[in-house]
Structure 1
Amino acid sequence: MPLFKSLSHDEMMEIASITEPRTFKKGEVIYGEGDTGGKLYILHTGGVKISRLSADGKEQFIRAIGPGEFMGELSLFSSLPFTDDAAALENSTMCFIDGEKLKLLMSKYISIAFKVMDELSKRLERAENLIKEISLNSVEERLARVLLDLSDGEKEIVLTMTRGNLASQLGMSQETLSRKLSFFQEEGLISLKGHKRIRIENREGLLKII
């Protein structure tokens, strides 16, 4: 995984010696709000959903974690409990690394510390961009931008999350997302292929919206 790619084989074996492998079934909770942290969670196979509950009990989707990515890094540097929930999106395997042992290795292999800091910086930037998107841009602008981002220049998007999670991430209800997707389809900007596939039909038209 990227976090350890700069290490030698022997150094990687040293990392492996302090990891604890775990498996989780689809829907199983990995940690919840209020739980004590102190571990780094590294996903090997499957997927994990990071979310948070609002005061009125509505779920706010934060991000999805894929193979090779990690989570729980904030708890390594703070004694505060988790403020979000993590659950398996599918059958998943991962490794836990005890925080205190990892800190010792971070002081020994500075490249690991820099990689964790880099990931934290990227996540902070994404959070700030999302706040800006929600506060300054219309629903149509947000949706057009995320469709262009997800397509990455290709004609078809295969969603790796549910529409409900996508709507939550964009700061709108699932009903609003469905209406806007249908509107985009009527305008010839996209075509919907079931619940997971979206084909970009008019990229220039989406660009004009944003």
Structure 2
Amino acid sequence: MILFEKFPYEKWSFATRNVMETLSPDQYNFLVIEQHIKDYKKGEVIFQQGHSLDGLYLMLNGMVKKSKDAGGGKEQILYIATAGELLGYHSIPTGDPYPDSAIAMEKSKIAFIPLEAFYHMKNSSAAFAQAYNRLSGQELSIIGNYASLGKSGHSEANLARALLVIGYKCNYDNTDKRVMEISISRHNLANLIDIAGDNVSRILGQFKASQLITSTGSKIRLLDIPKLIDLANAPFENIKN
């Protein structure tokens, strides 16, 4: 399909779904269903940068941003996670505090997996352990690609990339991705691509006038995916393999 051939969505997602897909139904029940599952409100903190590591989290639905304080009251969004992705696992090998914060961007259902349950599964399932160990090789490139959204100097292309990445992640289980819908505030889009909120609104207005998208409030519908991909691919030198 053209959507997958022309835009490298996989370069914006950690392969944590592959880790969970190694589990049998009984293993999944032990690791997820029998643990603590919580509904988070929009804006609620899942874990805080600098707090002690006590486990990891599995997104069951919703959308969460991993972010850091960039100073001067600014927020740097490092990653956006959706259903099926793991959060909070980056410090497990060292036991260091959480290196960033995770905040719900919309109503989200999330399972907390204590370290004891994680290590039990890692020690008892070779497939789970192998899939988890492969994650470490992705971190620098994936985080680097998110950081590149604010560094290329092409705001229109950066916003097109951001919309495509979020659209793909929010519609991961939807086999027909010719039209994708997302819900994200102008504030979060601005922090993601590191431009002023007024500029985000201006560029979204241009996209609407060109019939690339429609929007109502925070809800954005991506209409012309091929043209958005062409725009996003224009300055692609900063994307890491």
TM-score by length of 1: 0.78
Q: State the shift of 1:174 in Å.
A: 1.6
Q: State the shift of 1:35 in Å.
A: 0.8
- Give 2:212's match in structure 1, choosing from 173, 190, 207: 190
Specify whether residues 79 and 59 from structure 1 end up closer, same or farther in structure 2 by C-alpha distance, changes over 3 A only. Answer: same
Do the aligned residues in 2 keep the contact of 1:38 with 1:76 (CA within 8 Å)? no
When Rg is computed on C-alpha atoms for both structures, the one with the higher figure is: 1
Residue correspondence of structure 1 range 2-41 to structure 2 within 5 A: 2-16=18-32, 19-41=35-57
The SS at the match of 2:184 is coil
Specify whether residues 7 and 180 from structure 1 end up closer, same or farther in structure 2 by C-alpha distance, changes over 3 A only. Answer: closer
> Aligned residue for 1:169?
192
Q: State the shift of 1:181 in Å.
A: 2.2
Do the aligned residues in 2 keep the contact of 1:38 with 1:100 (CA within 8 Å)? no
Residues of 1 paired with 2:133 and 2:216: CA distance?
39
Residues of 2 paired with 1:49 and 1:122: CA distance?
18
Residues of 1 paired with 2:109 and 2:166: CA distance?
25
Q: Does 1:87 align with 2:80?
A: no
- Give 1:126's match in structure 2, choosing from 124, 134, 142: 142
Do the aligned residues in 2 keep the contact of 1:189 with 1:203 (CA within 8 Å)? no
> Aligned residue for 2:82?
66
Q: State the shift of 1:99 in Å.
A: 1.7
Structure ranking higher on relative contact order (CA contacts 8 Å, 6+ apart): 2
Residues of 1 paired with 2:110 and 2:208: CA distance?
39
- Give 2:121's match in structure 1, choosing from 105, 116, 136: 105
Q: State the shift of 1:70 in Å.
A: 1.3
TM-score by length of 2: 0.70
> Aligned residue for 2:203?
180
Give structure 2 stretches of 5+ with no counterpart.
1-16, 169-175, 235-241
In the alignment, residue 41 of structure 2 is paired with which amino acid?
K
Specify whether residues 84 and 6 from structure 1 end up closer, same or farther in structure 2 by C-alpha distance, changes over 3 A only. Answer: closer
Q: How many residues align?
A: 209
The SS at the match of 1:93 is strand
Q: Does 1:78 align with 2:101?
A: no
Q: Does 1:96 align with 2:112?
A: yes
The SS at the match of 1:43 is strand
The SS at the match of 1:135 is coil
Specify whether residues 38 and 75 from structure 1 end up closer, same or farther in structure 2 by C-alpha distance, changes over 3 A only. Answer: farther
Q: State the shift of 1:32 in Å.
A: 1.1
Do the aligned residues in 2 keep the contact of 1:39 with 1:75 (CA within 8 Å)? no
The SS at the match of 1:73 is coil
> Aligned residue for 2:181?
158
Give structure 1 stretches of 5+ with no counterpart.
none
Identity percentage of aligned residues: 24
> Aligned residue for 1:43?
59
Q: State the shift of 1:139 in Å.
A: 1.4
In the alignment, residue 93 of structure 2 is paired with which amino acid?
F
In the alignment, residue 20 of structure 1 is paired with which amino acid?
H
The SS at the match of 1:3 is helix
CA RMSD across the alignment: 3.2
